[in-house]
Structure 1
Amino acid sequence: MSKYLVDKFLFTIDRDPDLVERYREDPDGTVAWWEETQANRILGCIDDERSTWLAFTDEERTALRDHDHVALFEMGAHPFLTLTLFIAMFERDHDEPLAYQKAYGEALAHLSLPYPDITT
């Protein structure tokens, strides 16, 4: 898994409210668009500065398209990146305060130390 690329996806989507909505409503299209147009952009550089070798694995694509934060965590995606993005996308679907955050944690409750390595 390219933890760097998955974390870069989560980070860049979370920083743009329009992309958050796009990813919520059309995860397949957003993941495909991002991988094709954004994955190889070098952070902090002009648009013409690009690499050519970065791509998601099938497993990463599936987890991103399914909004599967558990699978992403198990693969090594940084939990703070998934949590902040998924709060922006799904907290509104819950009536109780912190209900989404609690559900997020409960979905990860089966995991125990040592957690997957989240360094990139």
Structure 2
Amino acid sequence: MSKYWVNKFLYQIDRDPELLERYRTSPRAMVETWEQSIGPTMTSVEISTVNSFTPEEREALINQDYVALFEMGAHFFLNLTLFIAVFEEEYTARSGPLAFQLEFGRKLSHWLGREYPSVAL
């Protein structure tokens, strides 16, 4: 897993309301756009050509599969905060406050008592 690349995606999308909305409504297009033009930007004049998502990472991001991302070693906090932003409104409307966070915990409960995947690069 290119953890840096995935974590950079999680961080940047979560902190930009326009990108977040694009990811919420059209994840495939946003992942492709980010990977081709946003992610490689290092500064206003420098572009990186080194990184790309693995097929598994790309698929997990497109499917908004936070469990798979966690299991591949995405940073727990970045993963949680992005997907709270993506899903909280929908879950809160259906089930009340903290509904998504509780669902996130349930879906990762099989990790209780086990060592979490490393987030080290």
TM-score above 0.5: yes
Q: Which runs of 5+ in 1 are unaligned?
A: none
Partner of 2:116: 115
RMSD value, Cα: 1.0
Q: Larger helix proportion, structure 1 or 2?
A: 2
| Residue 88 of structure 1 pairs with residue 89 of structure 2 | no
What CA deviation, in whole Å up to 9, does each residue of 1:30-83 have, x standing for no partner? 0000000022222xx22x212211100000000000000000000000111111
- For 2:76 and 2:21, locate their aligned partners in 1 and report how far apart those are by CA, in whole Å: 20
Q: Deviation above 4 Å: which 4+ runs of structure 1?
A: none
| Residue 71 of structure 1 pairs with residue 68 of structure 2 | yes
Aligned with residue 62 of structure 1, among 45, 59, 64:
59
Partner of 2:7: 7
- For 1:30 and 1:100, locate their aligned partners in 2 and report how far apart those are by CA, in whole Å: 22
Q: Which runs of 5+ in 2 are unaligned?
A: none
- The number of residues matched between the two structures is 117
- For 2:98 and 2:48, locate their aligned partners in 1 and report how far apart those are by CA, in whole Å: 40
The one-letter code sitting in structure 1 at the alignment partner of 2:116 is: Y
| Residue 25 of structure 1 pairs with residue 25 of structure 2 | yes
Partner of 2:49: 52
